[in-house]
A = this chain, B = another copy of it.
């Protein structure tokens, strides 16, 4: 296995949070440390209670969204937010919010963020913490 999985989470549409949850939980189950660097539109989802507002779908797939949402409901699949929370209990999962994006979006302190966020971090520090591991951009 790779020595760490590092996810730059930029997209803010609800569909892209599914692979965030699944990949994080899977890596945690396999004993692979995960670092998530939240930036872009995804930052909104990590504000306090922000996860409740992850409901936008890409415009070009809006007609298919109900089938996907209902399919996951029928499977009783946990939400991406529950998957991140349980991954943090199982393994080493760090959730960072990009300091540049936080400032651009007028987030002034960690208190405005969801409690699952560990730290507000700069891109340079993230790049150093993810060195040698796998990095994916969602």
B residues near A60, Cβ cutoff 8 Å: 13, 56-59
Q: Is the CB of A26 within 8 A of B123?
A: yes
Main secondary structure of the interface of A (DSSP, over half): helix
Asked whether any CB of chain B lies closer than 8 Å to the CB of A84, the reply is no
Chain A 121-135, CB-CB to B under 8 Å as 1, else 0, gives: 001100110011011
8 Å CB interface, A1-60 against B:
1-2, 8, 10, 12-13, 15-16, 18-19, 22-23, 26-27, 29-30, 32, 39-41, 44, 56-60
Residue of B nearest to A124 (CB): B26
Interchain nearest-CB distance for A62 vs B (Å): 8
Bound Cα distance A124, B56 (Å): 28
Asked whether, in the complex, the Cβ of B132 is within 8 Å of the Cβ of A135, the reply is no
- When C-beta atoms are compared, the residue in chain B nearest to A102 turns out to be B71
A105 at the interface (CB under 8 A from B): yes
B2 touches A131 (CB 8 A): yes
Within 8 Å of chain B (Cβ to Cβ): is A68? yes
23 pairs of residues in contact across A and B, judged by CB atoms under 8 Å: A1-B127, A1-B131, A1-B132, A13-B60, A18-B40, A19-B40, A22-B123, A30-B124, A30-B127, A30-B128, A41-B58, A41-B61, A44-B64, A57-B60, A58-B60, A59-B59, A67-B105, A71-B105, A71-B106, A72-B104, A75-B104, A134-B135, A136-B137
